[in-house]
Amino acid sequence: MNRRGLLTGAGAVGASLLAGAGEASASRSGTPRLRPAGLARLREAMAALVAGGELVGIVYLVAHRGAVHVETLGRRSLDGDEPMRRGTPFRLASLTKPIIGAATMLLVEEGKLALDEPVDRLLPELAGRRVLRRIDGPLDDTVPAARPITVEDLLTFRMGYGIIFEPTFEPENYPIIKAANDLQLVMSVPYPPTPHKPDEWIRRFGTLPLMRQPGEQWQYNAGARVLSVLLARASGQSLPDFMRTRLFRPLGMRRTGFWLPASDAARLPDMYATNPETNQLEPVPASTPSEWTRPPAFPDGAAGLASTIDDYLAFARMMRDGGVHHGRRLLSAESVRLLTTNHLTPEQVAGAGFFPLVGRGWGYGMAVSVVPDEISAPGRYGWEGGFGTVWYNDPNRDLIAIALTQTVDFFVNGGAAEFQRLAAGVC
């Protein structure tokens, strides 16, 4: 991969600071440390992606105990001069999923949900499921589900429905894919969003059979979409109201939501992806700032949040500190353990295919490393978003790493993998 050294000039701003030392000392022992050489290698690599035209801009962060280092590189758009800033909002895409997992555990702790309970009580639309005999077969060639879908099935993405990656991505000649598209359920990429409100969405989804037996196989994405409806019904609030009052406000995540004030939405970076014909980054004509100024019809717990790097750091710190934020317990230590523990069998990990798990296990709404790799020992947890966002906590190093871009190619060009690897070398 081309590397051109450090990017200098407008849009390349680095900042190191010691933040939250009291909070860190209350929950972590030892001296916070961030190695200058490791920080320099990470910055050089990310700056080279920007200088080489592979990234438009990026805001990233590494935190070790109380030490936090933030870098902002590049611009918000190719045709403008406005630099990326620490407070720039980003479309989180699938970094929404770990947050919806944590929100689910709030309701489990209150007794409004139980992990082993069938979802039928609150989602009668999903009672009496039938399952396709063949995933590519006709919709009426089914068998009864061996058991109901449980809350834990939704969290572990083993509900029996999800994105198909092989032999091709979401093959339109499969009747189940065509039917979901005809119903405008938007089961894979989040844009354009579904026009349906939650009750209508779950009603339509309930007319489809499952692809697999509940509990049988890990399949991406659908579980978080169904949780969006379940959490609203269990809490008696809309999903945005529940998330705001129970998670965002207590964590101080004031700039996170399913929509944004007009002033924040106007600062969303443009989204980019490479045109395969020209091999050049081009704007993605979706998820425009104006769309983010109004509530969506379907608040999407799979990919629907926007946030800033400091807001996501607040969530990551709460997870790192076992459910505690600034001395106040929001989640039990047991809930955090369940969220960040792999629940898949080795066969299910292997059966998930290479992408997007890449050999990792799955907790509740997030991946969990199960073998040593070039980033860490087993136990690292976090996830990635398809718009170019990534987060992980590494309990082995007491490290938090977050990178926010709006360039889809961050994963294709190896930038996300390089960020994760080099971030592990800063402490």
- Tell me: the pLDDT tens digits for 336-386? 999 999 999 999 999 998 789 989 999 999 999 999 999 999 999 999 999
What's the pLDDT tens digit per position in 138-168? 999 999 999 999 999 999 999 999 999 988 8
Cα-Cα-Cα-Cα torsion 285, 287, 290, 291, nearest 10 degrees, comes to 130
Distance of CA 35 to the CA centre of its chain: 28
Statement: residue 12 has pLDDT above 80: no
Helix, strand or coil, per DSSP, at residue 47: helix
What's the pLDDT tens digit per position in 60-86? 999 998 899 999 999 999 999 999 999
Q: Which residue has the tokens 């689910």?
A: 104
Q: Which helix (H) or strand (E) holds 391?
A: strand 389-394
How large is the C-alpha radius of gyration of the chain? Answer: 21
Distances (CA, A) of 292 to 84, 306, 308: 19, 9, 14
- Provide the pLDDT for residue 5: 29
Task: Please tell me the chain's helix, strand, coil percentages from 3-state DSSP, rounded to the nearest 5.
Answer: 35, 15, 50
User: How far apart are the C-alpha atoms of 194 and 177, rounded to whole Å?
Assistant: 15
Q: Model confidence at 412, in pLDDT bands (50, 70, 90)?
A: confident
User: How far apart are the C-alpha atoms of 314 and 61, rounded to whole Å?
Assistant: 12
Check: CB of residue 165 under 8 Å from CB of residue 189: no
Check: CB of residue 257 under 8 Å from CB of residue 392: no
Which residues 6+ apart lie within 8 Å of 397 measured at CB? 64, 376, 424, 427
